[in-house]
Amino acid sequence: MLIDLIRVPDLSCIDDLLDEPLGLLYLGSVLRENNYKVRITNLAGHSSESWKPKIKEADLYGIQLYTPTANIGIEIAKFIKGIFPNKAIICGGAHPSAIPESEELAVFDHIVVGEGEESIIKIVNAYNSGKIIPRIVRGSFIEDLDSIPFPAWDLVDMNMFHRKVDGKRCFGIVGSRGCFYQCAFCDRSLFGERVRFRSVENIVNEVRKIISNYEVRHFEFFDDMFTINKRRLIEFKDKVKALNISYRCNGRADILSKKIYDLLYDSGCKVICFGIESGSQKMLDLMKKGTTVEKNLKAIEIAQEAGLIVIGYFILGFPGETRQTIQESIEFIEKSNIDQAQFYTFIPLPGCEVYRHLERFGAKIISRDFSDYYLVTGTDGRGGKTVETQFLSADEIQEEMKKIRKFLKERTSKGYIQDYYTDKLKYQVSI
């Protein structure tokens, strides 16, 4: 039996080939471990038409969907049904996990809710043995993350992806799953609210394997909770320091222990990314961020003192945003002297608290077209127009984002930034 896992193109994204499809690479490794043949059809980088010749026959198909790729993923599924009408198609990912009952997903034979490694094996085994399995498969969260084999990197050309750390091509690693914070803009349908960690030894073994197989020593850790456990960071530093790696990671800006940032730097961390979200305390409270402007300022200061480049992620247009709160974010950037600031238009992703309780937040959705639901840098450097708030219309939010982009382009960023920022968005940078 051959299972074809399809990476859907993201037509809204300024660099659709930035990162490897780690979720599909994990599914590929699990399917192989269970003695199934697997292929990954990577359609990233394709136009709305050029992907069609890439679809080949298989026994089962799996399509991973995020909200901005939902429409084209559905189009791909319908295309497969047109040329291979008797083949079943499985759908998984963040979008179907949030709204599995959605009528738009009717083309799919099975919907996987939550983590996919165990669920896809249940589905494939059922087809292989002729058994019936429900259309919606709700998997339990995997307790022992060490039990999942390393991603099947060889199923794609790893050289085609563009993400860099410290100017060098990097590999992505996920060392934990889940997040127990309650930010109102975040959907936790996929990995849940309880944090589960891989062992440090397991992560370091993955690092060693990548170095051995690909001669790559630069990494991006995608964990939401990478910096939350000091004991793990000490163990990580002790085991990885001799490997001479460079990496970037995400961190909570309310962690104010200088020891944490010293540990990161000593273990090879070059860049830490904070979800600052806003320079306005009013907005942080509305977002249920659980921190303060003062803590965010202090975390940036401590991390920079440790030698780290600090990137701040900001949300523009969350319900309650005004021109005054936007100005407070600009003033925060100037006061903090943060190395890099990246702004993203607020998008009410299905599953997040705002999407589920619009009236509570004083917001109105103006677009139900999921191709508009892109918040990660679009082709023009902005997110989609999806929502109006009490104080700003969607068009006004877009105009404010234009001003922010102009401000950021005139402000020199420090440290390495991804190529598309300089090549396409014309940001200034000082290494």
Q: What is the pLDDT of residue 419?
A: 85
Q: What contacts 59, CB < 8 A, 6 or more positions away?
A: 1, 2, 3, 87, 127
What domains appear along the chain, each with residue ranges and CATH number?
A: 2-138 (3.40.50.2300), 163-430 (3.80.30.20)
Asked if residues 400 and 326 have their Cβ atoms less than 8 Å apart, the reply is yes
Collapsing DSSP to helix, strand or coil, 411 comes out as coil
Structural tokens at position 425 = 């968005």
Most distant CA atoms of the chain, gap in Å:
64
Q: Within the chain, which residues score under 50 in pLDDT?
A: none
Q: What letter represents residue 105's amino acid?
A: L
Q: What is the pLDDT of residue 392?
A: 94
Asked if residues 5 and 24 have their Cβ atoms less than 8 Å apart, the reply is yes
CA-to-CA distance for 299 and 253, rounded, in angstroms? 5
**Rounded to the nearest 5°, which phi and psi values hold at 170?**
-125, 165
Give alpha helix (H) positions in 116-214.
117-129, 200-214
CA-to-CA distance for 28 and 37, rounded, in angstroms? 9
CA-to-CA distance for 318 and 387, rounded, in angstroms? 9
Q: What is the pLDDT of residue 377?
A: 65
Q: What is the pLDDT of residue 431?
A: 59
Q: What contacts 278, CB < 8 A, 6 or more positions away?
A: 284, 287, 314, 315, 318, 325, 328, 329, 332
